[in-house]
Amino acid sequence: MPPKIADTVAWQQAELLMQPVFIRVVDNIRKLLEVSSWKGSYQDVMIWPAGTTEETKAIVTQLLQELETAQPEQAVEIRETLSRLPLPHPGYHLCLQRQEQTVSIDMWDLCYQVCFLDYSPGDEGVQIDTSLIDETGDVDWLRLDIKARELVEQMFENLPQ
């Protein structure tokens, strides 16, 4: 699940940072893949709340598909049913492959690690890394690039040998 942001100022700072963070993370991954034995591709995934059963996932998936072509009165009924069920949120994964080895990296978690201080997956409350914002309130591109590069390099160093 995405981290919880405490107040509107932090929310605005996260909105300012997330797109530039994503761009720098993807660019740094591209640079390292060019000189790596790993091959990478990106994949949209659905992330389900913890404890969601396979049966519930199948029901929700079917209802979401039915919703796409439902008549207005059916759509109301489907939305009502969905409102009582756990819903997935969209995710984006980097899929790395080398020979028989495969590793899946959650791109949003990587971006959160750049954007927030001491972030680790599952953190509830987060703090914006305000060092990534300059004194005029804009993105500090140099600091952002350094932090994104270091994080991506660390991720590659931790891949299986």
- pLDDT digits 0-9 by tens, 32-71: 999 999 999 999 998 888 899 999 999 999 999 999 999 9
Euclidean distance between CA atoms 115 and 128, whole angstroms: 6
Q: 55 in a domain, yes or no?
A: no
| Residue-level pLDDT at 121 | 77
pLDDT confidence band for 90 (50 / 70 / 90) = confident
pLDDT surpasses 90 at 4: no
Beta bridge partners, 92, equal: 44
Q: 43 in a domain, yes or no?
A: no
Nearest-Å Rg of the Cα atoms of the chain is 19
> The pTM is what?
0.79
Q: 64 in a domain, yes or no?
A: no
Q: 34 in a domain, yes or no?
A: yes
Which residues constitute the domain of residue 133? Answer: 1-38+104-161
Q: 76 in a domain, yes or no?
A: no
| Residue-level pLDDT at 10 | 87
Residue 148 burial (CB count, 10 A): 26
Query: Whole-number mean pLDDT of the chain?
Result: 92
Cα dist. 4→7, 33, 77, 92, 122 in Å?
Answer: 9, 32, 30, 19, 10
| Residue-level pLDDT at 1 | 62
Q: 69 in a domain, yes or no?
A: no
Q: 86 in a domain, yes or no?
A: no
Tokens of 100: 């028989």
Domain count, the chain: 1
Q: 82 in a domain, yes or no?
A: no
Q: Dmax of the chain from CA atoms?
A: 56
